[in-house]
Amino acid sequence: MSQPHESGALRSQAGESSQLQTINAFARAVGLSASALRQYGESGLLAPADVEERTGYRYYSLDQQQRAIWIRRLRDAGLRLDRIRSVFEDGTIAAEAILNEWRADTRERSEAIAALVDDLILTLRAQEERNPARRTSARFDAAVLASAIRQVASASADADGDGDHDGVLIEAGSSSVAIVATDRFVLLSRTALPAAVDGPPVRVRLAPAPVLEWLRFRRTVDLVVDAPAGRDHDSASAAVRFRDEHDDELPLPSRPDLFPSVHRLLEADAFAPTKVLVLLDEVQRIASPEEHDTVLLTVDGGDAQLRSPGRTVSGTGFGASTTVTLSRPALRRIADAAVGRELTCDIHGSDRALVWRSPGQPDFVALMMPVA
């Protein structure tokens, strides 16, 4: 028996105003194969709108096309079918958690693959030369870089010391550059400084005072790191320097560090935090007096309050009710570094760092631990 022809774009059903596509026509429209559509139908991920009882032919409605396209894009990007099904069927909160977790995993795998490729290339080169150098360069507007260093430097444990957390860290990745300073109690960062980066990721710890002095009279500068990576390499022997548009250079000592990765610290949690919105000048006001050491942050329904002896500042709260105790000096450093009119705070719990942001400067991030 000859098979009915399925190349027609639409099949009209008597008594129905909707239009249906044959499986072949629908597959062409959404960029999937007919066999993939059959698999998705059997698993319940994308069931046909209609199945002809006599022949078993499957038909799909036009309003199923967008879902099919999302499924194809997610599958092509590597998300498992069971996770795709959860994205579409388990509600918005669960979907966001799945997608955020997948994005973080994908970023981590991408970084691991990039590191693997870099290491293998250098190993192959090392078979021909003893210590092949691996260069990374990052180009900055000198004024923008100086402003970012100055903004975060107050969080440094010791701006000019030699401890593992002293000075300011420049963390240059393949897609972003972060400027970070921390004394392990408060961390200040600019997480997306404009820069053109060429080469593998590097971390450079510097003393801000001499760098800021050198940057004053420059327009464009390159941070250049030549790191030997052969079989006999020593991480302390990397050549690190700033170079300006006239090829004048400022050598920087190569220093190890124990700075955390700010991007790793900011990876999305599975559960939404409690959020606070408050005016920046109000935070500066309550954090100014030196006769007290702590500030109480309370969220109850839609209300948020910062309280210290004799003073109260009100803001807006979102999420679960909570109360945390903050260090006043740490809060003051955050408020002094922030710009704009408002501050927001994400609270993930009494044992997790609070994340402060400034809506007026989206890449400004500050972290502080609550007082135990």
CA 296 to chain centre: 29
Q: What is the pLDDT of residues 181-190, one digit of tens each?
A: 998 889 999 9
Residues of the chain with CATH 1.10.1660.10: 11-89
CATH number for the segment(s) 133-260: 3.10.150.10
Residue with tokens 């820069």: 195
CATH of 11-89, one of 1.20.1270.10, 1.10.1660.10, 1.10.10.10, 1.10.3470.10: 1.10.1660.10
Separation between Cα atoms, residue 241 and residue 119, nearest integer Å: 23
**Reported confidence tier of residue 324, pLDDT bands at 50, 70, 90:** very high
Average pLDDT over residues 327-344: 94
pLDDT at 255: 78
What DSSP string describes 105-168?
A: HHHHHHHHHHHHHHHHHHHHHHTTSSS-EEEEEEEEEHHHHHHHHHHHGGG-S-TT--STT-SE
Evaluate if residue 99 carries a pLDDT over 60. yes
| 167-226 pLDDT per residue, tens | 999 999 877 899 999 988 899 999 999 999 988 888 999 999 999 999 998 999 999 998
Backbone angles phi, psi at 202, to 5 degrees: -140, 160
Q: Which CATH number fits domain 268-368: 3.30.70.2860, 3.70.10.10, 3.20.20.370, 1.10.238.10?
A: 3.70.10.10
Residue 1: per-residue pLDDT: 35
More confident residue, 131 or 127: 127
**Which part of the chain is CATH 3.70.10.10?**
268-368
pLDDT greater at residue 119 or residue 131: 119
Q: pLDDT, tens digit, for every residue of 62-85?
A: 989 999 999 999 998 889 888 999
Residue 327 has pLDDT above 80, yes or no: yes
Mean confidence (pLDDT) of the chain: 85
Question: Exposed (0-12), middle (13-18) or buried (19+): which is 81, by Cβ within 10 Å?
Answer: middle
Residue 164: pLDDT band (50, 70, 90) is: low
User: Which residues belong to CATH 3.10.150.10 in the chain?
Assistant: 133-260
pLDDT above 70 coverage of the chain, percent: 87
Instruction: Name the band, by pLDDT with cuts 50, 70 and 90, for residue 2.
Output: very low
Are the beta carbons of 47 and 37 closer than 8 angstroms? no
- CA dist 56 → 37, 52, 70, 103, 118 (Å): 14, 5, 26, 39, 53
Query: What's the pLDDT score for residue 158?
Result: 67
